[in-house]
Chain A
Amino acid sequence: MIEQQATNVGQFPPVEAELTGNVVVDTSVTPGNPSRRGAGTFRAIMRNRKALIGVIILLGFAGMAIFAPWIAPGDPNDLIAKRNLPPSSEYWFGTTGSGQDVFAQTVLGARASLGVGVAVGIFTTFLAALIGMTAGYFGGKVDDFLSLFMNVFLIIPALPLLIVLVGFLGGGGPMYFVFILGITGWSWGARVLRSQTLSLREKDFVSAAEVSGESRIRIIGGEIFPNMISLVAANLFGATIYAVGAMAALQFLGLGNVSLVSWGTNLYWAQNNGALLTGAWWTYVPSGLAIALVAFAFALTNFAVDEVTNPRLKAQRVARESLAKLGHKSKKNSRATPVIRHAN
């Protein structure tokens, strides 16, 4: 699904609240051997052009983060040259307002930004799955309570809460960001996963598992969970985008530790040194572009996962392709979802 892809901090509504509802339900059950189906889905995703671009960008950034000390050796905070030097062959991205190498800062910044982003993504997805699936599966009082809990978290605006939390508790290391972004970011995913669990619970294969005496944990983990992997993946991507953006925003505001090199901190210093007013755009562009590329790559991958796993979109594509094969170039798509006999 596409929820959360627009979630840079706060400003953008996760619009798809209710409306992906029926699509969500549709994605769920495809009969067949789960592991083989998984491999097929993976291949299909990799064949998708959007996904390929997304994955290549992400791998590039991951490589940059991992090999940062070799790509740009030395402490990125060292003052190595004159201030505000424009990009040159010596300093590819120029130097900052205090004479640091922008290239080194951008490369090293990937570590904190991506590290925290991915960690928050995993942490929130875990929380979301745990709480959402528990609520959805057990229903009744448990669901009432947990739903209330997630709705309250959902409605309390995250950015002000984050700002106030940092304001009161201080601190600003990477682990601290993982913690506060994690506890403020899980509720959306929990709600989505809850409603999916609710609908899966009613399916025959779950009843069959119940009748055959499987334990609840096994049913949740072994029967329901594998059927919402694509949703969980979407949540993971969305949460990571959210975390990278939210952390950058907080750091841009100068909250947290401003000597921790990350893309957000780079932008904070650029702003503080009046980068744009002095025309030193090169201190401002690389980190912003890096954040954007990461978010875009995650969103592309997310789209692709959606396209591949969503039967409705898939049916459309298959129909269009087979029509094209027959030399039929229809300009106007049919609006109803075409019926594809061998959609799997």
Chain B
Amino acid sequence: MHYLARRIGFYLIAAWASITLNFFLPRMMPGDPADIVFARAQGRMTPESLEAMKKAYGLSDAPLIVQYWDYIKAVFSGNLGTSFLYFPTPVTEVIGTGLRWTLLLGLTATILAFVFGSIIGILGAWRRGGVLDSALPPLLLFIGSFPYFWLATIALYFFAFKHDIFPIRHAYEDGMIPNWSWEFIRSVIYHLILPATTVLIVSIGGWVLGMRNAMISTLAEDYVTMAEAKGLSERRVMFAYAARNALLPNVTAFGMALGFVLSGALLTEIVFAYPGLGYQLLNAVRGLDYPLMQGLFLMITFAVLAANLLVDLLYIRLDPRVRRR
């Protein structure tokens, strides 16, 4: 488990780095951050919340190192300050509502893209020069060249605005109260389809190419030739021998992709007004809600770290070589 310990150590360092970055962000603003924020907020902030913010930031006359220590303590005790926009709701509470939608959208899209992309990659590599191999990658590459938000907006226009096939915004029907009823779940799925599909379409190309490349190297391995020589069925060789081993590097990429989707979903959420972290982040930036901005950045980073840790655990399970190291 030496490997796992090293990975956890790394994630702790990464977490520390992002907390430190967060600490210095307001201090990198020219002048006294609290006063600037107060001035920029133009009356949307009461003097009490100014005090509260100074306290939350640890902005005092104390030496920097003391402020820093106080900040780290505050983060670990789960105190990320108070949101300006939703005053006096604590930042953690605001984030909590967004996190689940981001996770739902991000996970759905990534898993689907991973599964479909890998399958297409496997089949493409198996019949090299076939339709899947020669026509699809350039097409996906071309689609992937468009700015994501641009494609998403066009999709929104065609499927939601012009043709009314899918809803135009939000994660569920307005006026519904979240619960576990079938009706609500159906509404959630209905609202999820369009945003998730747009993410799927633009991100699948990476998986196809990745899987295809891995398959091509794996197919050259002796054990694949051996399996073919033994006269095993094509399907068996393709999936049980080649794809199974080619999948391994893609699992690592899956961890990174989860991270990318959690942050990439920002644009999706913004275009589709989907109430996740990204939508909140843009609102926070527009509303100059600095504590919320910082809190969201930390939360997204932590989510990415956690996703990677999970993938590491999965990897240890899948690859015996890692276990022995």
A interface residues with partner B (beta carbon < 8 Å): 2, 5-6, 8-23, 148, 151-152, 154-161, 163-169, 241, 245, 248-249, 252-255, 267, 271, 276-277, 284, 288, 291-293, 295-296, 299, 312, 320, 331-333, 335-337
Contact = CB atoms under 8 A, between A and B. Distances in A.
B18 interface: yes
B206 A168 contact: no
A293 B264 contact: no
Contacts of B55: none
B99 interface: no
A230 B265 CA distance: 32
A166 B285 CA distance: 9
A8 B76 CA distance: 34
Residue in A152, A156, A248 with the greatest tally of chain B CB atoms within 10 Å: A156
Interface stretch (B56-64, B82-90, B292-300): B292-300
Contact of B253 (A17, A169, A249, A333): A17
B147 A291 contact: yes
B101 interface: no
Nearest to A1: B213
B265 to A, nearest CB: 7
Q: What band does the interface of chain B fall in when counting residues whose beta carbon is under 8 Å from A? A: 35 or more
B224 A12 contact: no
Contacts of B281: 160, 163-164
Given A15-B210, A156-B18, A249 B256 contact: no
A2 B305 contact: no
B264 A159 contact: yes
B144 interface: yes
B273 interface: no
Closest 4 CB pairs of A and B: A11-B264, A15-B210, A13-B257, A157-B263
Given A276-B157, A288-B147, A296-B142, A168 B26 contact: yes
B120 interface: no
A312 B294 CA distance: 47
Contact of B250 (A12, A15, A245, A332): A15
Interface string B270-300: 1000000010011011101010011011001
Given A10-B260, A157-B263, 20 more contacts: A2-B213, A6-B144, A6-B203, A10-B267, A11-B260, A13-B260, A16-B210, A17-B252, A148-B13, A155-B14, A159-B266, A164-B281, A255-B285, A276-B157, A288-B146, A291-B150, A296-B142, A331-B129, A335-B216, A336-B219
A165 B300 CA distance: 15
A1 to B, nearest CB: 9
Contact of B127 (A10, A320, A332): A332
Given A10-B267, A13-B256, A336-B219, A296 B145 contact: yes
Given A6-B205, A159-B263, A152 B153 contact: no
Residue in B10, B205, B260, B296 with the greatest tally of chain A CB atoms within 10 Å: B260
A333 B128 contact: yes
B41 to A, nearest CB: 13
Interface string B197-210: 00100110111011
Given A9-B148, A13-B256, A291-B146, A163 B285 contact: yes
14 contacts: A8-B148, A12-B257, A18-B253, A21-B249, A152-B14, A156-B17, A160-B278, A168-B290, A168-B293, A249-B147, A267-B150, A271-B153, A292-B142, A333-B128
B52 interface: no
A333 B37 CA distance: 64
Nearest to B277: A160
Contacts of A320: 129
Contact of A245 (B126, B147, B206, B207): B147
Contact of B308 (A155, A276, A293): A155
Given A160-B263, A160-B296, A335-B224, A167 B145 contact: no
Contact of B14 (A18, A156, A254): A156
Nearest to A15: B210
Contacts of B205: 6, 12
B301 interface: yes
Contact of A160 (B26, B127, B214, B266): B266
A267 B278 CA distance: 19
Contacts of B153: 271, 276, 284
Nearest to A330: B129
B253 A11 contact: no
Contact of B203 (A12, A163, A255): A12
A159 B301 CA distance: 11
B185 interface: no
Residue in B128, B219, B263, B288 with the greatest tally of chain A CB atoms within 10 Å: B263
Contact of A22 (B154, B161, B217, B294): B217
Contacts of B141: 5-6, 296, 299
Contacts of A331: 129
Contacts of A157: 259-260, 262-263, 300-301, 304
A12 B149 CA distance: 13
A151 B25 contact: no
B220 interface: yes
A168 B28 contact: yes
B263 A10 contact: yes
B261 interface: yes
Contacts of B199: 11
B29 interface: yes
